Each structure stands twice: as structure tokens, then as C-alpha cells.
Amino acid sequence: MEGALLIDKPKGLTSTRVVEEVKRKLRVKKVGHTGTLDPIATGLLILLVGRATRFAQFLINFPKTYEFTLRFGAQTDTYDAQGKITKRYEGELKCEKLRSVLEEFRGEIEQVPPPFSAKKVKGRRAYELARKGKPVELKPVKVKVYSLELLECDEAQKKARLLAELSSGAYVRSLAHDIGQRLGIGAFVEELRRTKVDEISVEEAVSLEEFLSSERPERFLIPVDNLFRIIPEVRLSSFDAGKILKGQSILVRERDYEGLVKIYDNGKFIGIGELRGGVLKPKRLLV
């Protein structure tokens, strides 16, 4: 059994827990996610089953879109509502000021990951140190904020709802924390929902509850190549496909495109390759 599974993750569960539930339901050994969601978060979690797990490396780097609610006036140790409040602020939220400040967070920015994250510090996960009350020193990394839009703002409630498309490696929690610091009134994530991964929408996903209660859960699996929607395809003859399957490169003279491509053998998806200078090189194969 192999393929991809689009799950609408409920609040309160870790991504690892969802993976384990899916393994048990499908009775398979290999299931992996392609980008974790915090327990507080809901929304699109893409899982790969069986041999499809070989393509996780490509999906992890896809941009992701989130809707999230910020609560202003305090900061927490986790940068979200599940953490302990470490500081309170008396300042007021001004929506026009917030709208102006958001401009500073668009494009390429430097961001320090949250202390409670899976980033490694001297070989240990940051959250392991943070839970023990030990100092966590994480270096800033460059990430991209492709879009950042203010959807709603409530000055009286000190809340705002935003929509953001972020590059791989970017944290909504850090973005929230940094916006609060820039405004001088603190902020943390109160609600978080992942709505898209690249061109894949949460509207295509099945709820975890429906999946686990289904008598035929395998019907929710989709072909893994369906996930690579903006990647061009190259269709090969059986002769050329045979070379690719042996790890060899081939000439594809009629294509001047350069970059990742989906490779098909007479209509059957066999893997992801890379085209450079008319030469097609296999990167990851399904068989």
C-alpha cells in the first residue's frame, strides 16, 4: 500500500500521534508526515504511506499558508496559548499601527525559532532543554514571508486574525512573538490553522475522525504525484525509462526547462528527476 493522505488535523494532537493512528488504521509500517503541526494547530497535514515516503524531502520545502489569531498584551514561553505567561503589557492595540508594522515582516526576514521547537542545540532538541528550564540559544535563520495580510482586528479584545504564506523553516509562533515585540505590547498565537501546502488545500483533506471511522480507509489515499502540481512532467519511452530506473541520466533534447520534473514511463509515474542543460537525472524513484 502506498500513496499520499491529506488529513485535516484536529486541535490537541501532535503530528506524531496522527501518524501512529494512521499506521494502525491502515496496518502499514511506513507512514511519515511532510511538515509537523503544533498540537494547538489544526489543518492540512500531508502524510506519505509506503514507498511514497521517499518523496518527503521535496514536499517539506513547499511554502505553507496559515490563518492564525494573535492575542496581544502578553507573551508566553511557547509563543502560543498553551504556554505559561511570562510577561504582561499594559499598552493598547492600535489596528493602524499593526497594519503598518506588518509591512516590516514581508519578504526575506531573519527569524529566531521558538525555544519550544524541534530545532537542535548541541545535539538536543530545543524543547527538551526548554521544558527543563534551561536556557535555549537559537541562532536566527533567514526565512521568507511571501504574503502577510490582516484579516480582522479588534482593538477592544486585543486580538487580530491574519493570513500568511511562509517558506519552509518559518514559524508562525516566532512571527507572532516578533510582531508583539515590535508593537511593544507582546503577542502570542491563540489559534492556528494550516490552510494550504503549495497548491494543495485543506478543503481536499479528510478529517481524522472520518478517516479513522471508515471501513475502507485506503480509499482516501491519492497517488503521490498528485501532490507535485506545479512541477512539469516528462513522459519517456520504456527504453529511456529503463535507463532512468537504473540511475542513469538521459538526454531530453526537446525540453529547454530546467528544474525538477515528474517522470513517467508510458503514463506510469516512476519518480522525480532534474533537468539541466537538456540532461535528465533521476533524483528519487518510486520503484
In DSSP notation, 179-221 reads HHHHHTS-EEEEEEEEEEETTEEGGGPEEHHHHHH-S-GGGG-
* Residues 55 and 72 occupy one common structural domain: no
Domain count, the chain: 3
* Residues 149 and 44 occupy one common structural domain: no
* Residues 121 and 192 occupy one common structural domain: yes
* Residues 164 and 209 occupy one common structural domain: no
* Residues 179 and 159 occupy one common structural domain: yes
Q: What is the tens place of the pLDDT at every residue in 135-156?
A: 556 778 899 999 999 999 999 9
Q: What local confidence, expressed as pLDDT, does residue 36 receive?
A: 85
Share of the chain above pLDDT 90, in %: 76
H-run or E-run covering 164: strand 159-166
- Banded pLDDT at 129 (limits 50, 70, 90): very low
* Residues 174 and 85 occupy one common structural domain: yes
CATH number for position 171: 3.30.2350.10
Known catalytic residues are: 38
Q: Which segments within 81-139 are labelled E, that is strand? A: 85-88, 107-111, 120-121, 124-125
* Residues 57 and 87 occupy one common structural domain: no
Q: Is the pLDDT of residue 116 over 70?
A: no
- Banded pLDDT at 207 (limits 50, 70, 90): very high
Domain limits at 236?
A: 231-285
If we measure between CA atoms, which residue out of 284, 247, 242, 279 comes closest to residue 262? 284
Q: What local confidence, expressed as pLDDT, does residue 120 receive?
A: 52
Average pLDDT over residues 48-74: 94
Residue 261, helix vs strand vs coil: strand
Q: What local confidence, expressed as pLDDT, does residue 99 receive?
A: 97
